[in-house]
Amino acid sequence: MSVEVRNLTKSYGNFTAVKDVSLVVNTGQLVALVGPSGSGKTTLLRSIAGLEQPDPGAGTILLNGKDVAAEPVGRRKIGFVFQHYALFKHMTVGENVAFGLRVRPWRSRPSRQEIRKIVGELLDLVQLRGMERRYPSQLSGGQRQRIALARALATKPAVLLLDEPFGALDAKVRRELRQWLRQLHHDVGVTTIFVTHDQEEALEVADRVAVMNKGVIEQIGTPTEVYDHPATPFVQTFLGTVNLFRGRIAEDLQKSGETSNGRDPTSPGKATAFVRPHDVEISRLANGHPGLVGEVISTSMTGPTTRVYLQLSDSRELVEAELTRNRYHELALKIGDTVYVSWRKAKVFADDYSI
């Protein structure tokens, strides 16, 4: 089932949590909603589910092309997984998973054996077979999360909405569940929208990423598109660390290296170049390029790469560079060394943008 949101606005009192947002998710896609805390991700997701009503006359939600304004949450064929699981404490794991089937009107309710079979299959799917008789309080956070997912899947929803599914878990479990979700989505093929404020998670798992900020979607695209071709400075800074080089377009910025598209680099006026740490180049020699001069402040080893922090001698700004181990050893950098800084790739935005 496809999901389409058209010009949705949702306010609480006189505070607008979601402003004129439009979004299309095709059948079977896995889309991530990312954005900082308070950017309206949960509000958007809850509006799609029907747990929140859009402002009167401000927005339409279409499921499979059909306006669902009049449909209550129970009839939208959605599965919703809450940020804090919302498992029923007084029911066993098996009863939790079976809930959506048991509350059906008896005409369409599967028989006991069928329900037991479906619950067993779902517990297999979330790799928790044999835990039917436990209560939620006897499970770990990650296990509860997966039960919440199994419970939502039991009714065979056409759309799965996940609110920060891994939010409360530690980094290692998150990474495992991320891969597992990717695989699950591949196996089940249900249209999925999941909220996260972890950009890494969004880029790794999703087919497409929607970046939200202050109630609007700033950009929607594949992970490569949003990461490599950010539409706004916000997207650029939100999806990973960036260095900011302020200067004048055409003169300073072009002088210190190649710039990529973004804004026309020859137009006059102030601009900022956004450079990812792994696109920063450090050299001992000027190399013919009239690069910027900086001093090595500190270095730190982070797994396969090494981070080098530099201070530019003219603007006193700090720059973070990420070098491969080989390059780092080749340069033999020491704290206090003076080096030349340039970049392989930058994204230039004229300064009428604000972050």
Partner 1 sequence: MATRRVIPGFGLSMGYTLSYLSLIVLIPLSALVWKTAHLHWDVFWSTVTNPIVMAAYKLSFGASLLAAAINGVLGLMTAWVLVRYRFPGRRLLDAVIDFPFALPTAVTGLTFSDLYSPHGWMGALGDHTADAANFLLGALHVAYRFGPGSFAALNLQLANTNTGVVVVLIFVGLPFVVRLVQPVLENMDVELEQAARSLGAGPFTTFRRVIFPELLPAWLSGLSLAFARSVGEYGSVIFIAGNIPGKSQIAPQKIIDFLYGFEAGGTAKATAIGVVLLSASLVVLVLINALQWWARRHER
Binding site for partner 1 (CB under 8 A): 49, 51, 72-75, 78-80, 82, 84, 86, 88-92, 99-100, 103-104, 135-137, 151-152, 154-155
- Mapping DSSP onto H, E and C, the string for the chain reads CCEEEEEEEEEECCEEEEEEEEEEECCCCEEEEECCCCCCHHHHHHHHHCCCCCCCCCCEEEECCEECCCCCHHHCCEEEECCCCCCCCCCCHHHHHHHHHHCCCHHHCCCHHHHHHHHHHHHHHCCCCCCCCCCHHHCCHHHHHHHHHHHHHCCCCCEEEEECCCCCCCHHHHHHHHHHHHHHHHHHCCEEEEEECCHHHHHHHCCEEEEEECCEEEEEECHHHHHHCCCCHHHHHHCCCCEEEEEECCCHHHHCECCCCCCCCCCCCEEEEEECHHHEEEECCCCCCCCEEEEEEEEEEECCEEEEEEEECCCCCEEEEEEEHHHHHHHCCCCCCEEEEEECCCEEEECCCCC
How many residues lie near ligand ATP (CB under 6 A)? 12
Residue 82, contacted partner among Mg ion, ligand ATP, partner 1, none, CB below 5-8 A by kind: partner 1
Q: Which of 9, 29, 30, 41 binds ligand ATP (CB under 6 A)?
A: 41
Residue 40 contacts ligand ATP per CB under 6 A: yes
In angstroms, give the least distance from the CB of 184 to partner 1.
19
CB contact set of 189 (below 8 Å; sequence gap of 6+): 28
How many residues lie near Mg ion (CB under 5 A)? 1
Residue 43 contacts Mg ion per CB under 5 A: no
Residue 143 contacts ligand ATP per CB under 6 A: no
In angstroms, give the least distance from the CB of 35 to partner 1.
21
Q: Residue 37 or residue 113: which is nearer to ligand ATP going by CB?
A: 37
Q: Residue 43 or residue 192: which is nearer to ligand ATP going by CB?
A: 43
Instruction: From 36-44, 131-139, 150-158, 278-286, give the range in contact with ligand ATP by CB under 6 A.
Output: 36-44
In angstroms, give the least distance from the CB of 40 to ligand ATP.
4
In angstroms, give the least distance from the CB of 43 to ligand ATP.
3
Residue 80, contacted partner among ligand ATP, partner 1, Mg ion, none, CB below 5-8 A by kind: partner 1
Q: Which of 42, 96, 219, 272 binds Mg ion (CB under 5 A)?
A: 42
Q: Which amino acid is at 85?
A: Y
Residue 242 contacts ligand ATP per CB under 6 A: no
Residue 39, contacted partner among ligand ATP, Mg ion, partner 1, none, CB below 5-8 A by kind: ligand ATP
Footprint on this chain of ligand ATP (rule: CB under 6 A): 12, 15, 17, 35, 37-43, 197
Footprint on this chain of Mg ion (rule: CB under 5 A): 42
